[in-house]
A = this chain, B = another copy of it.
Amino acid sequence: MTTPSATLATFAAQLQFTDIPDAVVRKTEDLLVDWFGSAVAGFGSRPVQSIARFALAMGPADGPSEVINERRRSSPYAAAMANAAASHVAEQDDVHNGSVFHPATVVFPPALAVAQAVGASGKDLLTASVVGYEVGIRIGEFLGRSHYKVFHTTGTAGTVAAAVAVGHLLKLTPQQMQHAMGSAGTTAAGLWEFLRTAADSKQLHTAHAAGAGLMAAYLAQDGFTGAAQVLEGPQGMAAGMSRDADVARLTDRLGSRWATTETSFKYHASCRHTHPAADALLQVMQANQLLPTDIAQVTTHVHQGAIDVLGPVVNPSTVHQSKFSMGTVLALVAQFGHAGLAEFDQHFLSDTTKTLRDRVRMALDDEVDRAYPARWIGKVTVQTTDGRTLHGRIDEPKGDPGNTLSREEITAKALRLADHSGGATPARMQAAVDALWQVAQWPRVGTLLGA
């Protein structure tokens, strides 16, 4: 009578730190530090501030959990929502390719808030985070491509990921964990419709996932029950929100395949769907020593998901929207070799950027589409102003597991993000990051930036 939901719940409840291979622990530390940089990158963002104001207005004026960018403390619920909103806005947080799911922004905020509230150790926090990654990634893979066409998987699968991470810290039994998953799954939400008008919903989706998932776990601890098979049941998430769900993905090599290590870091500050083409353009420009002015036209050969998400953005009017514009991203990469936060802020609507942007188009590519989402291949064809046709290609964009960032690069990225947002002084951020690299040694999880 073991169901996929029950198997996942048992894994989530029973995983021990000592069960996790060293390399997976090290990768989780990498992901945690990288997430912290993204959280501080959200400092000063208008939609992030709105969510933090709401959470703090509706929550207690003090509490055990840190609202990082406000230097305030409140309840774990309020802190989880505010920090989750903060860490997705810069589009610099991690992504798991196969599930098209951003785990960090929905796993670490609720796990950190609850770890601070219950006095968990650094090892507990890392273990709970691995639980969130392993379960959330598998749910994203299970829900499939049809789900992602309408639903923001980070919001939907993310709600359950948040629940199991928090549930692990609350020491739920396997049965309680299954109830927590049921409550999380039945409140999971997030639609792509907001992209069409460049609305703020992406930040709401991560806040909602963190908050609803955390609530589901606390309710389960208190005896509140949820659907036993909210994922795969006949009136569950897949029944309502997917047409190509693959139930075998839910428990795929659970405990031996560590999906956490498959997670990619973001190098460019844009939607991940733009990165393969951006790196392929860099490759062909470097190989042929092209200047931006040499480019007459760029055709990016992409998967259907890129067209679905980026297609509606034809004339971006805001920095955030321009991160979903393939043309803008490639224009910045052509000019600066990197599309970072500073490049977006200063140049997303410059005349040069707009001219280059309008020379970029997307075309569905069969090889790229078949490889996706397991592999995100980048292919571009460049027509030069002197009449040449050049081809660029990369098989793993920068930040993917086979082309990953070093700890030095992760640290530098976090410092760059904090400096850009003004969320922490360089010295304060350096000290916080240095401390966070030692998280596995922390007897109790404290605040990251003080509050």
In the complex, what residues of B have CB within 8 A of residue A57's CB?
75, 218
Kindly report which residue of chain B lies nearest to residue A218, judged by CB atoms: B54
Contact pattern, A 284-304, Cβ under 8 Å of B = 1, otherwise 0: 000000000000000000000
Q: How far is the CA of A182 from the CA of B205 in the complex (A)?
A: 12
CB pair A197 B222 closer than 8 Å: no
Using A186-B190, A196-B233, A199-B227 as known contacts, list a sample of 11 further A-B pairs with CB atoms less than 8 Å apart, ordered by residue number in A: A51-B219, A54-B222, A58-B215, A149-B235, A182-B201, A185-B193, A191-B235, A192-B235, A193-B233, A193-B234, A208-B212
In the complex, what residues of B have CB within 8 A of residue A84's CB?
none
Residue A188 CB within 8 A of the other chain: yes
Q: Which residues of A pack against B, CB within 8 Å?
A: 46-47, 50-51, 53-54, 57-61, 75-78, 149-151, 155, 179, 182-183, 185-201, 204-205, 208, 212, 215, 218-219, 222-230, 233-237, 239-241
- Cross-chain contact of A191 among B61, B186, B228 (Cβ < 8 A): B186
CB pair B230 A46 closer than 8 Å: no
CB pair A229 B186 closer than 8 Å: no
Q: Which of A75, A225, A235: most chain B Cβ within 10 A?
A: A235
Nearest CB of B to A38, in Å = 20
- Cross-chain contact of A46 among B46, B208, B223 (Cβ < 8 A): B223
Q: How far is the CA of A57 from the CA of B229 in the complex (A)?
A: 28
CB pair B199 A187 closer than 8 Å: no
Q: Contacts A75-B57, A204-B187, A219-B51 known; A194 to B240 CB distance under 8 Å? A: no
Nearest CB of B to A118, in Å = 13
CB pair A151 B193 closer than 8 Å: no
